[in-house]
Structure 1
Amino acid sequence: MPDHTSPGTLLSELRARPPLVHCITNFVAMNIAANVLLAAGASPAMVHAQEEAGEFAAIAGALTINIGTLSSAWLRGMETAAIAAGQSGKPWVLDPVAHYATGFRRAAVGRLLELGPAVIRGNASEIIALAGGASRGQGVDSRDGVEHAEESARLLARVHGAIVAVTGAVDFVTDGERAVRIEGGSALMLQVTALGCSLTCLVGAFLAVRPDAPFEATVAALATFAVAGETAASKAHGPGSFSWRFLDALAALDASLLDRQARLRCA
């Protein structure tokens, strides 16, 4: 029997019914995140003003919130959107970028966590710190290995009832009980700004397609990113050529190729 939750199946569903994804992301990420969603087959909208964020979240398929370039005005828009998403039954993703760096960020993430994200995606240092551990992160850079964040991710998932995705050399996704590791991608991805932020938006796109299966949707998004990254890196000469090749690889990826090349391991 076919696997109705395989990454390829979910990618086909995404392209058959392109979801509108409400992305509240940072200044650095807006362009690349929008292009990533378009290449995957989704429809991006970068809406952050408090005056319209709630109304827009209610009509979108999913919401993603990234605190990379945080401000008080943007935080009000984030909270308004998250509340509206919850009230209208729309799932949302939290990307707690460098949340440990300042008191403002720590307080902001604490308030957003109370609003019930369906998925939390971050690097290892962000996830360790979010679970109350001591991380070695500095700014937006992770100085901890994904393997060191796995137990923190499981704890965070159980406490908040969310899927937690830790991204790095080998990604890790858990709901607190089940867990999957995703191999692939390329070291060149670390040299292209905001690709991780773009991945958060892609998780939102898959989540919009399968809001009832957030674990499988998150795994599918990370597998899609990993396969496209590996494909792009095979012909790239550096981060510049990798960047456009990544978008091309993402756009060219189909369901059968994704399921053949995705390297998933139960953890």
Structure 2
Amino acid sequence: MTDETLNPATMLAAMRRERPLVHCITNYVAMNIAANVVLAAGASPAMIHAEAEAGEFAAIAGALTVNIGTLSPDWVKGMRAAATAAAANGKPWVLDPVAHYATGFRREATAGLLALSPTIVRGNASEIIALAGAASRGQGVDSRDSVDAAEDAARALAGSHDTVVAVTGATDFVTNGKRAVRIEGGSPLMPQVTALGCSLTCVVGAFAAAFPRDPFDATVAALALFAVAGERAAAEAEGPGSFGWRFLDALAAVDEAALEAEARIGQA
């Protein structure tokens, strides 16, 4: 789509009308949660990773998302086949380089995927800093760096790889190397619920599928939706357990008017 006014509210309405098919290659921990989150956001998820069909499916899906959380050699082959097919067919694809710095196997897999030119890269601050070649304080999947500390790395990564980079945390940062915004909202409870970050990557894919020519704005819209839903869910939650199901409900309930009124996006 290119005829919509590109702001998060109208993009949300357009994405939900289209209900795009999103090919989600994600990890074992995230599969069920990510599928439910994509459905609540208004898109259609497909969790396919086998090399034998990943390339074929990526060619027909609206967008591809690749999360390296639980790698195996066979999954890497499926990821590469899907990313290659997505690029060849003009489909946007999103890379989520989970803890890519932790082992040699992960570093090698991520380098190979990055070479396939992802449309969007989404990660926490430590992941983005390390991916740009700087020293991060990350440990496992946890970020020990602030989003502020990752902004220069994100700009550099976006410029060197001609991609959109989203750094998510207490305040999100999105850049394509030229434009940049910050998105406020969400809740400190979000990192306490398994796989919400992985699920966000899939929602970024949903917006990118609906707006393939506008990956920067698509990324901002997805992060704004998540931030508003997170803030709403936290207002009623008693802890991470109740936050999890409240977040799904909040995500489905946020409509065009709510996103227009409640999203807090500023130029960076």
The alignment status of 1:166 with 2:167, answered yes or no, reads yes
Aligned to 1:45: 46
- Give structure 1 stretches of 5+ with no counterpart: none
Q: Secondary structure at the match of 1:259?
A: helix
Q: Distance in 1 between matches of 2:34 and 2:15?
A: 16
Aligned to 1:23: 24
Aligned to 2:177: 176
Query: Deviation at 1:124?
Result: 0.2
Q: Distance in 2 between matches of 1:41 and 1:165?
A: 21
Q: Secondary structure at the match of 2:247?
A: helix
Q: Secondary structure at the match of 1:187?
A: coil
- Give structure 2 stretches of 5+ with no counterpart: none
Residue type matched to 2:264 in 1?
Answer: R
Q: Distance in 2 between matches of 1:15 and 1:172?
A: 24
Residue type matched to 1:61 in 2?
Answer: G
Q: Normalization by structure 1: what TM-score?
A: 0.99
Aligned to 1:210: 211
RMSD of equivalent CA atoms: 0.9
Q: Secondary structure at the match of 1:234?
A: helix
Residue type matched to 1:109 in 2?
Answer: T
Residue type matched to 1:71 in 2?
Answer: S
Query: Deviation at 1:256?
Result: 1.1
Q: Distance in 1 between matches of 2:199 and 2:111?
A: 23
| Percent of matched pairs sharing the same residue | 71
Residue type matched to 2:111 in 1?
Answer: G
User: Map of 1:247-266 to 2, 5 A cutoff?
Assistant: 247-266=248-267
The alignment status of 1:10 with 2:11, answered yes or no, reads yes
**Paired residues, what number?**
266
User: Map of 1:96-245 to 2, 5 A cutoff?
Assistant: 96-245=97-246
Q: Distance in 1 between matches of 2:38 and 2:74?
A: 25
Q: Deviations over 1:219-241 (max 9, x none)?
A: 00000000000000000000010
Aligned to 2:66: 65
Query: Deviation at 1:245?
Result: 0.4
Q: Secondary structure at the match of 1:211?
A: coil
Query: Deviation at 1:259?
Result: 1.1
Q: Secondary structure at the match of 1:265?
A: strand
Aligned to 1:93: 94
Q: Secondary structure at the match of 1:132?
A: coil
Query: Deviation at 1:264?
Result: 0.3
Q: Normalization by structure 2: what TM-score?
A: 0.98
